[in-house]
Amino acid sequence: MADLSTNFLGIQSPNPFWLASAPPTDKEVNVRRAFEAGWGGVVWKTLGEDPPVVNVNGPRYGALWGPDRRVIGFNNIELITDRPLQVNLDEIARVKRDFPDRAVVVSLMVPVNELAWRNMLTRVEDTGADGVELNFGCPHGMSERGMGSAVGQVPEYIQQVTEWCKTHTRLPVIVKLTPNITDVRFPARAARAGGADGISLINTINSVIGVDLDRMTMSPATDGWGSHGGYCGPAVKPIALNMVAEIARDPDTAGVPLSGIGGITTWRDAAEFIAMGCGTVQVCTAAMVYGFKIVQDLCSGLGNFMDDKGYRTLDDFRGRAVPTVKNWNQLNLNHVEKAVIHQDTCIQCGRCHVVCEDTSHQAIWATKDGKRHFEVNDAECVGCNLCVSICPVPGTITMRALQPGETDARTGRVVDGSYANWTTHPNNPMRSGCA
């Protein structure tokens, strides 16, 4: 069986699955249950200064459901921990003592003030915790008070606070980034410049989950009013994965240890984040929706995948996908693909024909010899992948790359296997070599 153990910034854990800082890690009782279920580590729910913050006493969560009522997106207006600091610190110390082989990282958020950070770090060190995560990400409530994403949106603040933390603690410092920015490379570079040992991302995305059309209020609402929240769950995974990729391939941050967060629900999601360069992955919504025992499926699924592929350790495939992420202008414009419909599994629902007819390139015939039959017309197909995306039977439509020597029936050009991108394309007035 593959070895799932990780060493992230010197913090050991038996598997890469950490619970993200959130309700699942808010209390000793939860964290004990999580470790008993098999989680490799936790990032404790964000601690702040006393007196503790106060949460609303109304709905603080909202969901976006798929047609089968599975939660595909999750929204919250919860603040950081609302329990006294010393209560949390005592619990962290007890949990770490009883689970020495698990990672216990403590998330922190205090005002942008060196003394406040120093005091907090000293108290956290005394618990025996393995590391700290600086919460520069929460987009609601705390940001109005100048913390959370209010810090994460200003690279200079990120760098400054990270420097203070590196000065005042011997623990590894992970900087957790907000996705509510234009270009994630700038905050990531600031974290590195400040000396961060690692970066975790993403925190939640600004969101309003819906409108109650009977009451004409935003939803959920407390006493008739609502406030934007933070969005997470499966729907945010592509956004998180892109941000991880951007940091992993940016020359200024490449190689910085990454902890991937955002929509991780299955072992496959986790494997994708690891292939995109992450050393550990963090999970919140999936644990809140399915309970702690999902970690057992996550571990066995990831282990089976690694066994199948011949990967002995996570490092054997960590970051493997990063070199394949390029700017658009580097893509090979000479490469040609066509969709192929496999008649043996086609149920003749006709969806591919409708979408290609209405919104793509009218490249799927719906009849043959007067009978219902779906087949791709290579002379029109641009290889867009829309039909693959909407076909209800997995594997029934696949894409086939034309091989050198084959003629593209749409353009009449013979594929010659050469590479040419937009930077040299004759249609590009700015192409290299063009005066």
Ligand X SMILES: Cc1cc2nc3c(=O)[nH]c(=O)nc-3n(C[C@H](O)[C@H](O)[C@H](O)COP(=O)(O)O)c2cc1C
Chain residues binding ligand SF4 by CB under 6 A are: 339, 341, 346-352, 356, 360-361, 363-364, 374, 376, 381-387, 391, 393, 396-397
Q: Which residue type is seen at 75?
A: N
The answer to whether the Cα torsion of 366, 367, 372, 373 is positive or negative is: negative
261 binds, among ligand X, ligand SF4, none (CB under 5 to 8 A by kind): ligand X
- Residue (80 or 381) nearer to ligand X, CB: 80
Q: Which residue type is seen at 147?
A: M
324 binds, among ligand X, ligand SF4, none (CB under 5 to 8 A by kind): none
107 counts as binding ligand X under rule CB under 6 A: yes
Neighbours of 392 (CB within 10 A): 9
- Residue (63 or 349) nearer to ligand SF4, CB: 349
- Residue (150 or 236) nearer to ligand X, CB: 236
Q: Which residue type is seen at 137?
A: G
Cβ atoms of 352 and 397 within 8 Å: the answer is yes
Q: Among 217-225, 281-289, 303-311, 415-423, which window interacts with ligand X (CB under 6 A)?
A: 281-289
C-alpha dist (Å) from residue 142 to 81, 155, 256: 11, 18, 27
Tell me the chain's radius of gyration from C-alpha atoms. 25
The DSSP-derived string for 170-206 is SS-EEEEPPS-SS-THHHHHHHHHTT-SEEEE--PEE
346 binds, among ligand X, ligand SF4, none (CB under 5 to 8 A by kind): ligand SF4
The single residue among 106, 151, 171, 236 that binds ligand X, judged by CB under 6 A, is 236
Which among 26, 154, 140 has a CA at the least distance from the CA of 92?
26
Backbone phi and psi for residue 3, each to the nearest 5 degrees, phi listed first: -90, 115
CB of 406 to ligand SF4, least distance (A): 16
* Residue 361 to residue 354: CA distance in whole angstroms: 11
C-alpha dist (Å) from residue 119 to 126, 168, 272: 11, 9, 38
Of 138, 232, 352, 391, the active-site residue reads 138
The single residue among 2, 44, 71, 78 that binds ligand X, judged by CB under 6 A, is 78
281 counts as binding ligand X under rule CB under 6 A: no
Catalytic residue flag (residue 381): no
Q: What is the DSSP letter of 22?
A: S
- Residue (106 or 376) nearer to ligand SF4, CB: 376
CB of 95 to ligand X, least distance (A): 17
Q: Which two tokens stand for residue 38?
A: 């098999």
* Residue 264 to residue 289: CA distance in whole angstroms: 12
The single residue among 18, 35, 74, 157 that binds ligand X, judged by CB under 6 A, is 74
- Residue (111 or 350) nearer to ligand SF4, CB: 350
Q: What is the DSSP letter of 403?
A: P
233 binds, among ligand X, ligand SF4, none (CB under 5 to 8 A by kind): ligand X
128 counts as binding ligand X under rule CB under 6 A: no
13 counts as binding ligand X under rule CB under 6 A: no
- Residue (82 or 380) nearer to ligand X, CB: 82
285 counts as binding ligand X under rule CB under 6 A: yes
Place of tokens 């990400």: 137
CB of 133 to ligand X, least distance (A): 7
385 binds, among ligand X, ligand SF4, none (CB under 5 to 8 A by kind): ligand SF4
**Total residues binding ligand X (CB under 6 A):** 28
The single residue among 27, 45, 96, 192 that binds ligand X, judged by CB under 6 A, is 45
Backbone phi and psi for residue 11, each to the nearest 5 degrees, phi listed first: -90, 120
CB contact burial 168-188 (16+ within 10 A = b; e otherwise): bbebbbbbbbbbbbeebbbbb
262 counts as binding ligand X under rule CB under 6 A: yes
Which parts of 148-207 interact with ligand X (CB under 6 A)? 176, 203-204
* Residue 102, CB-side half-sphere exposure with 13 Å CA sphere: 27
199 binds, among ligand SF4, ligand X, none (CB under 5 to 8 A by kind): none
45 binds, among ligand X, ligand SF4, none (CB under 5 to 8 A by kind): ligand X
H/E stretch holding 48? none
402 counts as binding ligand X under rule CB under 6 A: no
Which parts of 307-326 interact with ligand X (CB under 6 A)? none
Q: Among 17-25, 124-132, 162-170, 208-216, which window interacts with ligand X (CB under 6 A)?
A: 17-25
Backbone phi and psi for residue 200, each to the nearest 5 degrees, phi listed first: -120, 145
* Residue 374 to residue 364: CA distance in whole angstroms: 6
Catalytic site residues? Answer: 138
Catalog residues that contact ligand X under the rule CB under 6 A.
20-23, 45-46, 74, 76, 78, 80, 107, 135, 137-138, 176, 203-204, 232-233, 236, 261-264, 283-286
